[in-house]
Amino acid sequence: MQLVVARVGRAHGIKGEVTVEVRTDEPELRLAPGAVLTTDPAAAGPLTIETGRVHSGRLLLRFAGVRDRNAAEALRNTLLIADVDPEERPEEPDEYYDHQLVDLDVLLADGTVVGRITEISHLPYQDLFVVERPDGSEVLIPFVEEIVTDIDLSAQQAVIAPPPGLIDDRAEIASARDTEPHGDAGEDRGAGEDQGAGKGRGADERPGAGDGTDAAGGAAGTGSTAADPGDRETDRGTGRMTDPGTDRGTEPGTGGGAR
């Protein structure tokens, strides 16, 4: 499997170094000296990393055969692509690469189908599953231990225990009504009819295109830029089952997940 691990930026200095926009959580592995990367456009590569260093918070690379600023500037906007074993797993047992989580079926503990993971959205403090429901609407599931109780890659499924309102906003409304004091029998019947009407309209249908999901994913670096090929995934971040509220301390450009 091919994954985009970085994009070449501007030339730095006069000796062939370039800045890179990192799109992997494991730059020490994917962008280490000696790594051979294919490129897009293909004519620019393959490129062998000769040296790497951090300068003012940015990763600088120099490639074999690139010796001056002009040669470095010619690589600008080139995508760096690594060949990755699809079965490869991060070192930590609670971490997963995005491509391992996408297309998993999402179920409740009783086997009820919630939908299918179509994307992993990486936010500063936690990751989200973008889940497409059977009716075509989308719901966002925080990838935290209290909600995602099990990931079974062999069975291709994720089991969740959502709090009230996460996958159906009306469930929370109905729960609140149940705790309100009841009046006379006529009022009780009216409340029951209102709840029934709410349930009859079905679950909250959040439009996939207009709910801001794509914008959040793009801001976190999970999506490809206009220069990215449409059928190639990035190695930006692995999904990680985190403790709710934990500050993961991710630095800009390094992604979240495996470290």
Predicted confidence at residue 7, as pLDDT, reads: 93
Distance CA 63, CA 47 (A): 6
Structural domain contains residue 248: no
Q: Judge if 54 and 31 occupy the same domain.
A: yes
pLDDT of residue 68: 94
pLDDT (0 to 100) of residue 200: 32
Note whether residue 109 is domain-resident. yes
Domains: count for the chain: 3
The pLDDT confidence band at residue 102, using thresholds 50, 70 and 90, is very high
Range(s) of the domain holding residue 142: 95-165+205-240
In a domain, 253, yes or no: no
Q: Are 104 and 220 contained in the same domain?
A: yes
Position 138 in a domain: yes
* DSSP string covering 64-124: TT--SHHHHHTTTTPEEEEE--TT---SSTTEEEHHHHTT-EEEETT--EEEEEEEEEE-S
**Look-up: residue for tokens 């301390």?**
249
Structure tokens at 230: 């449409």
Looking at residue 99, what is its pLDDT? 85
Per-residue confidence band for 240, with pLDDT thresholds at 50, 70 and 90: low
Is 252 part of a structural domain of the chain? no
User: Are 159 and 194 within one domain?
Assistant: no
Q: Are residues 13 and 72 in the same domain?
A: yes
Residue 49: inside a domain: yes
**pLDDT category, 241, cuts 50, 70, 90?**
low
pLDDT by residue (tens digit) across 219-233?
333 333 334 444 456
Number of H helices, E strands in the chain: 6, 15
pLDDT digit string, tens, across residues 19-76: 999 988 788 888 999 999 999 999 998 999 999 999 998 999 999 999 999 999 999 9
Percent of the chain with pLDDT over 70: 64
Q: Answer yes or no: do 111 and 190 share one domain.
A: no
The set of residues, in sequence order, having a beta carbon less than 8 Å from that of 91 and lying 6+ positions away, is 258
Same structural domain for residues 74 and 156?
A: no
Judge if 214 and 119 occupy the same domain. yes
Q: Are residues 54 and 18 part of one domain?
A: yes
54 & 150 share domain: no
In a 10 Å sphere around its CB, with 0-12 CB exposed, 13-18 middle and 19+ buried, how is residue 21 labelled? middle
Same domain flag for 100 and 212: yes
What's the mean pLDDT when you consider all of the chain? 73
Q: Is residue 178 part of a domain?
A: yes
Q: Report yes or no on 66 lying in a domain.
A: yes
Domain termination site, one of 200, 219, 252: 200
Per-residue confidence (pLDDT) for residue 191, from 0 to 100:
39
Beta bridge partners of 139: 131
Q: What is the CATH number of the domain that holds 42?
A: 2.40.30.60
pTM, whole model, 2 decimals? 0.52
Give the CATH number for residue 145. 2.30.30.240
Tell me: do 176 and 62 sit in the same domain.
no
Last residue of a domain, one of 33, 51, 83: 83
pLDDT digits (tens, 9 = 90+) for 169-221: 544 444 444 555 544 444 443 433 333 333 333 333 333 333 433 333 333 33
Q: Strand order in 127-132's β-sheet?
A: 138-142, 127-132, 113-122, 105-108, 157-160, 148-152
Residues 108 and 134 in one domain: yes
